[in-house]
Structure 1
């Protein structure tokens, strides 16, 4: 009986040591998998944000393409009243036909004058505001930071972060801005500012 008790105690200690080691390896494996899952989730979130930005750019480009076509419509419709007026000169009811033609001409001239008035009253576009703001910054800025700054400078305008992000991506596509990623965050800067920052880093390294 006395010999079996130490043997049982030794086996118990061995099992306890083995179980403790298995638990430690299990926890390390959980931490490793959790880190990989977080990294993959960050990549997935970044891809989803890029997808949303690309969709917004596609929509903006589509609206700009459709906005150009109506400008040609009034010019094509202008000769129509002239033909009707010329054809009605030889008919007895010329007075009745000329009056609607005058009204139509007045409406068309009013429609043409409306865009001119709107262009003179409108201020700088959002693209100009975003580009000028980036040019005045020495460090990269996110779309939310740019939208907040412009909203404070121009409280009369409704500036949304999604629209600012779309505008920034448009500037990147035209090589008027640079896009950098820090983790899952996206920052923007002007090409000149990016080159100046790189040059300063190179000079600091050479001096060291």
Structure 2
């Protein structure tokens, strides 16, 4: 943000199809230097990526693995980066490319979707536009957490990434109930729940 300005950084971080400049392979931050990517062909490790690329990578997994599991009534847990979650909800809610720029997914806050038998989202009364799902946090706390995520594009003397270390969550309780499928997302993690009711 200091080098390019907060608006440009926000555009790179939040736009749908505008990637940041490519990283050089001799950079210490190039993912190819990380052992967890050692099994991936170097040519397949992206040098830059935007949300569109993330969606293109996530949707085959959603359609090929997650959807069939949900249709079989399975409970599925997916650990994911916040951008992957933004991509999934963009797809589920058919959010326009221009609107996705302002969507902030707070870190480690459950985002619950009620899906019908066709896995289409059902708008919840607690939903915050443009989402059909709702966050399991009160509106004031949600606003603070979303502001903290948005502030990641701004440089201040005390800039630091927001954490969820101080947050504590009650156990999620599962009870029998309606026949809708539940789909709950967490920033930096994603939880999909089958046909059971979920209570805070």
Q: TM-score, normalised by structure 1?
A: 0.21
Larger fraction in strand: 2
Q: Which has the higher contact order (CA 8 A, sep 6+)?
A: 2
Greater radius of gyration (CA): 1
